[in-house]
Amino acid sequence: MSILKLEKSAWHPYFDRVSKLAGGTKLAEVEVAALNLGDQIQAKWLPFSGIVYDPKDDLIEVVLEGLDHLIRKPRQVFIDQEATLLRSLQVIDESGVRQIIKLRDPLMLPPPEHAQH
């Protein structure tokens, strides 16, 4: 496991690559951690569509099924990546609030043997 800081100039191309490779194939959980809020789960293992950095509005948008999670004025982005496997992203905004986006594969189960229709 390796945690790396992404430079701001790399955010847009990196997020585009993550969205192309993981969009529609992963589940995501979004946790918000702040001293005044504590740790709160914003989204629990929803289908992940992508992540975008908009430099004009200075925001990161995490697109999940049924939810767009916006992070305004991001200041730092850290990635937890092992070789080509991205486990999570951590975004720290200008207020020091940490937003942690965890990714995982959906659980593929075979259909039950005696399923009723």
Phi and psi, residue 21, nearest 5°: -85, -35
Q: In what order do the strands lie in the sheet with 67-72?
A: 2-6, 74-82, 85-93, 98-104, 27-34, 38-54, 59-64, 67-72
What is the pTM assigned to this prediction?
0.85
Confidence of residue 25 (pLDDT cuts 50, 70, 90): confident
Which residue in the block uniquely carries the two structure tokens 């929803």?
A: 46
- Kindly report the CATH class assigned to 2-104: mainly beta
Q: What is the pLDDT of residues 58-70, one digit of tens each?
A: 999 999 999 999 9
The per-residue pLDDT for range 37-52, each reduced to its tens digit, is 778 888 999 999 999 9
What are the tens digits of pLDDT across the range 87-104?
Answer: 999 999 999 999 999 999
- Averaged pLDDT of the chain: 89
